[in-house]
Amino acid sequence: MVASYRLHNWTFNVWEGPPPEIPLQRISIHTRPGAVGCDHTNLGYWGDKFTRRLTSYYSGGHLEALDDRQLIVAPLLQAGLVRLWYASIDYLVRYQMLFKVTDLQVIECASYVRVTGSGLNLANPGVLKVDVTMVAHAVAVRRP
């Protein structure tokens, strides 16, 4: 069973904001002085940058949140194109999209007394909130 929300190898609980952006076709138009008409070049498909706040709760406490921050979340900047699961939908399989993480801002890495609601009831959980800036990229998927 794949988690409802996952970015590469980081599983998180809450995605704040609208769904991921969709890639757009990018075209370059070429004209020549003295020539009639123009030429078009397809540069590829990618989306605009967007930022979402992602929150993860850890039943193991604050140390588990610190570990994920250093070992899983921080390396996302160097990971290249990564997969995203949003509301249990794998965006690579469903929409042929991968995402490039361009910026990470850790908003909170703390310990709470209790977290309840949204199917959670955790005592002394660790909490990691990160603002993640991403760009969606369309990819070609080979099918058998």
Instruction: Give domain limits for the chain.
Output: 5-138
**Single-letter residue type at 71:** L
pLDDT of residue 141: 52
Q: Where are the alpha helices (DSSP H) in 23-81?
A: 62-68
pLDDT of residue 3: 63
What does pTM read for this prediction? Answer: 0.79
> CA–CA distance from 89 to each of 85, 113, 141 (Å)?
5, 32, 16
The sheet with strand 5-7 has its strands ordered as 10-12, 5-7, 84-86, 89-90
Chain segment 90-131, per-residue pLDDT in tens? 999 988 899 999 999 999 998 887 877 767 777 888 899 999
